[in-house]
Amino acid sequence: MNATFNLKRFFLLENYKKQETGKHLLWSAGVVLGICLLCMMYDINKGMSYYTEHTQANGFCRYILWFLCIAPCLLESSITKRNSTLYLLLPASAFEKFLHLWMKYILILPVFCMLLILGIKAILILSGTGYLSHFGNHIELHIIQNDQTLTYSLLQGTFFIGCIAFKQQKLINSFIVLCACFIAFFGIILSISLWEPADSHEYWIANISYPIYNFPMSSTGEAIIAFCNYATPLLFLIGTWVSGYFLLKEKQL
């Protein structure tokens, strides 16, 4: 391609891919409705206890978020010998093909699922049926806690880059990579804790419940921790997107 990005050429690519995108949206709608029905069936199976206990509506959006994280490996077709020639010969640059994937799975699909959830919530609340209204009222749209952002970033980034990196069994291979990352993180944490010296009372320094280690942190330290809590997931996501672009570019070459 003569240029990395050309707006007219990108619109032509989107027009060529619109039928595929529409199918992916329909599949996603089916998954969202299926998860909703499964949550309702689980509540109904518990009997009337869902009025006093947490209904599955509390986790409904969280299940949708898990689906969105693995959606690239579920919906995107693998580049095989049968379709690789046609894909590589498309009159679009590697950046435009990557941008198509990025917009579909980071913008279009999440917005579509969010609108669908809002529609389901409104329909259930206005249905007038006791259980359906109760389920709709308990659908929580705020699903990501601050301490979970890194986990979801790792989940989304691994499966997003996996749909580009792997040719076959993308979901399984991406899951194996994700497990390997978690094992490596836990191994590092365990190694650090084992090398920490114990005090005279045989308490590990990591045990913050011991009184002598409870002291106020400086404002600079709090600022550094707050920055790392928000910057680390963002930098990881950007890193996976950049890596995915270069992988796609290498395949096109």
pLDDT digits (tens, 9 = 90+) for 188-229: 877 776 665 554 444 444 444 445 555 566 677 677 777 777
pLDDT on residue 216? 64
pLDDT score of 48 = 64
How high is the pLDDT of residue 81?
65
More confident residue, 229 or 109: 109
Average per-residue pLDDT for the chain? 80
pTM as predicted: 0.80
pLDDT at 37: 93
Confidence at residue 181, expressed as pLDDT on a 0 to 100 scale: 80
Please state the rounded mean pLDDT for residues 166-192.
Answer: 81
Q: How confident is the model at residue 169 (pLDDT cuts 50, 70, 90)?
A: confident
Average pLDDT over residues 20-41: 93
pLDDT of residue 207: 46
Structural contact between residues 63 and 49, judged by C-beta atoms closer than 8 angstroms: no
pLDDT surpassing 60 at residue 83: yes
Return the top range by mean pLDDT from 14-18, 142-146, 170-174: 14-18
Please compute the mean of the pLDDT values over residues 140-148 and round it to a whole number: 71
pLDDT of 147 above 70 = no
Per-residue pLDDT tens over the stretch 10-29: 888 888 889 999 999 999 99
Q: What is the reported pLDDT for 208? A: 46
Least confident range from 29-43, 46-60, 197-211: namely 197-211
